[in-house]
Structure 1
């Protein structure tokens, strides 16, 4: 099963720190988390401060990294099939996903250990402009490749 990944992070550089991560599966299941302790505002580029941070949902979505990792692994383990992670930014999103998915040097058994680059797939639609919110972006990316997965609105 394909699971579409999107992340928001502090800046476009090798020093990027994860702010939020979202997964949208072909069957409609979703995962979204915002990290509490992985970044600081001073780590962020001006773009992130102006566009990304104001869109964070906070409240029940924000968790310390250790809790976010546990929730992510629980979500991934809820699938019976092998998961193919699809992202439009593997050089950033995949690396940040891996940092959260690795638990004590172990990789989730049902997740392929390499990403699929969404830009290499045949889209069924052009999608809409990405708003730079991890869950909304993941929904849009999923909708571009999955006919039965319409873009949902805000929570």
Structure 2
């Protein structure tokens, strides 16, 4: 089962901090969380302050990292099959996913421990830019893969 990953984070750098994370499964099941206690506005680039932060949904989506990790691990464990994480930005999104998915040095049993780079897969796109909201972007990335392409994987 492929899960399409997208993250929003503080800036394009090695010190990026996770703001929000979303997964959209091939079967349509979704996961979305915003982190409350891993970043501050002063950590963010101007782009993130202007474009990303105003799109955060808050409410029940906003959680401290401990609750967010538990929710992510519960979501991943709810699948019976091996999960393949697909992302268009493995150098950022995969690393941030790993930080949230590792729990006391333990990796989720049904998740492959390496990502699939979405840019290496055949995809269809109308060329529209992503809106820079983790869940909306993950939905768009998932929709770029045709049914026949998904069945090949």
Query: Do the structures match in fold with TM over 0.5?
Result: yes
Structure 2: runs of 5+ lacking an equivalent: 149-153
User: How big is the shift at 1:129?
Assistant: 1.7
2-side partners of 1:8 and 1:127: how far apart? 20
Residue equivalent to 1:82: 82
2-side partners of 1:83 and 1:104: how far apart? 20
2-side partners of 1:74 and 1:35: how far apart? 17
User: How big is the shift at 1:94?
Assistant: 0.1
TM-score normalised per structure 1: 0.93
Contact 1:20–1:34 at 8 Å: present in 2 too?
Answer: yes
Structure 1: runs of 5+ lacking an equivalent: 149-155
After superposition, give the CA deviation of every residue in 1:43-102 in whole Å (9 maximum; x if it has no partner).
000000000000000011000000000000000000000000000000000000000000
Matches within 5 A, 1:118-137: 118-126=118-126, 128-137=128-137
Evaluate the alpha carbon distance shift between residue 27 and residue 54 of structure 1 in structure 2; reply closer, same or farther with a 3 A threshold: same
2-side partners of 1:140 and 1:17: how far apart? 23
Contact 1:23–1:30 at 8 Å: present in 2 too?
Answer: yes
Residue equivalent to 2:27: 27
1-side partners of 2:42 and 2:125: how far apart? 37
After superposition, give the CA deviation of every residue in 1:109-153 in whole Å (9 maximum; x if it has no partner).
0000000000000014446320000000000000001449xxxxx
User: How big is the shift at 1:13?
Assistant: 0.1
Evaluate the alpha carbon distance shift between residue 47 and residue 111 of structure 1 in structure 2; reply closer, same or farther with a 3 A threshold: same
Residue equivalent to 1:104: 104
